[in-house]
Amino acid sequence: MTGECGGKRCPGLRRGGDLRGLVWLGLAGLAIGALAGARRRPDGEPNSHTRLAQMNGTPRREYYTGPIPSRAIAIADLRARTHELMPRLALEYLEAGAEDEASMMRERRAFADWRFVPRTLVDVSHRTLETQLLGKPAAMPLIIAPTGFNGLFTHHADLALAQAAASAGVPFVQSTMSNDAVEEVARVKGLRHWWQLYVFGADEVWQQLLERVDRAGCEALVLTTNTQIFGNREWSQRTRTSRSWPSPSSALEAALHPRWLASTLLAGGGLPEFKNVIEFVPKDRRGLFESAHWIRSQQPTSLSWDTVARIRERWKKPFLIKGILSVEDVRRALDSGVDGIVLSSHGGRQLDWTVSPLDLLPAAREVIGDRMQLYVAGGIRRGTDLLKALALGADAALAGRAPLYGLCAYGERGAARALEILKREADDAIGLLGASAPQALGRQFLVPAAQLGGVCRACGVMPGSIAVNESSHAMQPVPRASGPGPTV
């Protein structure tokens, strides 16, 4: 496979383990970047959503994008540094959604549709975020979501995320399309190691994968169900001349980011590979981009509840399915033998114009009751986002992009910083809300923003917007999973 330069073969961009052409461009980029000021400063405005605190552009506000992780005080700071350091092809892979990106936008806006109703004069001096996930303790109800191809951001990215998760006391879900071997990740001390499964190829592939991750000690399996047809991610596609190779302009632009080159291609001795599945790829299709495209082409559109049943029969540990956005599928999951579900739109990267996971969450909890674990994925950028998800019925939330912003900004220290930020924000907010633990959260602490005109004068409760007792307006926490199975 060769690159294309104006219709001609580009000898500097032949397929090879070390991608020598791009490395040479990178060395040139060191000089060009110094002369041309190639390192971009983000022009994002931290207060762009409101002008209440500013007049005529003052006080001037900027995100922190410097080299000290502890000075990043919000996920937005980590994101700003990510946009400063990463080339376009990496940013589009990280940030882009499908088509008009309406699903991705809805993931974030759904959180803004709810407002807190805090209780005051409540003793929260002994508050905690600790909880139980799949019957084991977690420092907070947060899980690092599965994300593939993290080697595009830095060398040993999956290991860095796993180490950050272990330090924070939360689970890490490793992707089938990760670039570090499952056995390497499993050696991270203290890690709660979960495995995300993509079904592709013949049944023997996923069966062998399950045997391998079981031997490695993975404690739970998460089956992704909504990616059998690859999402139309137009902006990411525009960085490539084909499905398997970046465009010359993208390659040149990437070469102007020497820090990225140093932490990916040079640190790893070339392009990463999908170490956990490469053995199933034909030998002539094992280039990085080529193998990714081949694997996507082998995902069966016949994936069904029968597949779930076959996997359940083989996998005896906790088993969750991820990608549900329908109440009917929530009901179906109750009878499927799985231990929990993850409401997810795959980060807004698959079908566009869907409801958000948060939109479905209250109805899903009503269907499930306390019979299985219910998680939500997508759009978590603040500790308050996590609390809203819990109050609407989630047992935990999965965060994908937020830890990746930290990873891109500062490596393992940045991923750890992202988790620290979310935990600090959630701990402060739960106290300000007047609750002492995740289990105490429920709809009594939320009102829909669209109905704020009709709050009851007697008690501050809005009829029809919060779950209330008709006679006394007494409000109850949402039901949580209980019993001999996984508990919270």
Give the distance from CA 40 to its chain's centroid. Answer: 25
Contacting residues for 47 by C-beta, under 8 A, at least 6 apart: 53, 54, 61
Give the integer Cα–Cα distance in Å for 14 and 16.
6
Distance CA 295, CA 99 (A): 22
Rounded Cα distance between 40 and 248, Å, is 20
The set of catalytic residues is: 346
Other CB atoms within a 10 A radius of the CB of residue 162 amount to 28
Q: Judge contact between 108 and 385, C-beta under 8 A.
A: no
257 touches 87 (CB < 8 A): yes
Residue with tokens 């203290």: 190
From the list 346, 88, 95, 351, the residue with the least C-alpha distance to 240 is 88
Paired tokens of 391 = 């109050």
Which candidate, 116, 111, 223, 143, places its Cα nearest to that of 397? 143
Are the CB atoms for 274 and 111 separated by under 8 Å?
no
Q: What are phi and psi of 244, to 5 degrees?
A: -120, 10
Question: What is the rounded distance in angstroms from the CA atom of residue 135 to the CA atom of residue 448?
Answer: 32
For residue 125, count CB atoms less than 10 angstroms from its CB and return exposed for 0-12, middle for 13-18, buried for 19 or more.
exposed
Nearest to 379 by CA among 355, 351, 401: 401
CB 176 within 8 A of CB 148: yes
**DSSP-based three-state secondary structure for 242:** strand
Which residue in 253, 331, 185, 285 sits closest to 38, CA to CA?
253
CA–CA dist 472, 98 (Å, integer)? 46
